[in-house]
Structure 1
Amino acid sequence: MTFQLDRFDLAAFVQSTLAEDLGEVGDITSAAVIPEDAVFTGVMDSRDAITVAGLPIAEAFFRALDPEVWIERLVEDGVRVAAGTELLRLRGRARAMLAAERSALNTVQHLSGIATLTRRYADTIEGSGATLLDTRKTLPGLRVVEKYATRMGGAQNHRMGLWDAAMIKDNHVAVAGSVGEAARRAVAAGIASIIVEVDRLDQIAPALEAGATHLLLDNMPPETLREAVAEVAGRVPTEASGGVRLDTIRAIAESGVTYVSVGRLTQSAPAADIGLDFSAA
């Protein structure tokens, strides 16, 4: 089955990534050292316990340079695996496999790193009743795939961009004059989903009265979050955000909020340790 994500052109991504690596003349090392008709077998495996993400994209890199490459996917994205688990087996033209190797590995290491960190956060709040959200703190050009990786790790996607929901923050409020006035302007513009950031309890009533459909409770400690949730009383979803860490997220989630959003999922995830070893066929 073809790997597809909304607003992501896999073929263009593969082409531009390979062009960046191969330049105008290609892999000069392999061309000099590896016979043109040489065939390699390869195994991609995880050196650590991880949550996997990005394997279909890795496969696309190999297929782009060798359409006849044989690939066996041994696990699926979103699966948790132990250290030493084999992820892919491959057999194909040696030069093509070496040329695609780094792009494929970089992608799987990065996306699996995001999925693995996300899974740690999701596991930490399991049973609390709160749902984990990602943010827009993604690398330019990689938002769609990074947000795909957070889904593989157990999060839900927040806004994909500035276009799919209004989010009124402090700078908007500063220009509009108040939380209520900013929300009223969004309602007047015909926007259906209006997220309003509040950092004080006295902003909640004006935001709701003006038409907010979702409240982002910014940098509030758990006790304040509980007060905010009680005041909202289920009228709109509530989201805790700001400075959330693994050691604090459980208490935040147990405050009764609907969501907890975490920028660190994409902003600070370390790459997963994944290797790819080749041998002559």
Structure 2
Amino acid sequence: MTDTTRPIRIGLQLQPQHADYRTIRETASAAEDLGVDIIFNWDHFYPLYGDPDGKHFECWTMLGAWAESTSRVEIGALVTCNSYRNPELLADMARTVDHISDGRLILGIGSGWFEKDYDEYGYEFGTAGGRLDDLAEALPRIESRLGKLNPAPTRKIPVLIGGGGEKKTLKLVAKHADIWHGFGDPETVERKVGILKQHCADVGRDAGEIEISTGVQGEPDELGPKLRGLGVSLFTVGVGGPDYDLGLLKKWISWRDAQNG
């Protein structure tokens, strides 16, 4: 059975590129005032769109600032690159931001893919398979360190794993994630949800425990019902600088409110 009972949530990926930080902070506050559920950034060192050497800010220091400058929304990275930080350090950073935010952090993580980040900052890029193997090793270490820290996190920090790899990534989702974030049209999402359910069955986990998230670019009245029917409950709109247009986000928030009643 596909779970369509979870309340619909709306996320904003506030891409930290081509903008002054003041604008980023003001946009986060505006999105919170609009009623968005989660505000994400991303974990890169250079813009992904537009001028490749344009303005850009670092992910986790920004999350610490958002923990203070927001009060209601959940916050997180969509997603943290596992390659850039020791797993124990990342767990400690997450625990700290969890406390600063009074329990509003989502720990989004993935294996990494943007080669320029690696080359410019001195990380070994390796292969996609090798980076996924590194993520598989890191996740238990993160979980272990979170269990040892004093003080402990304020709650069981939700783990979001981003990526659509059907053999390795979705298997990691089945083992470790509270939220799976994917991309693609409804047909793609449907296929990957089916594969995720099989991975969950293989490890003896109830697939209904995992919230299904996807990035959206289209109109909610057309796209929303199709994805909702596949079990998606978290819909995330991405916006980039220098001027962050929240028009599409407003439409998705209105659609959420109508659907949730």
TM-score scaled by length of structure 2: 0.43
Max radius of gyration: which structure? 1
- Normalized per residue, the structure richer in helix is 2
TM-score scaled by length of structure 1: 0.41
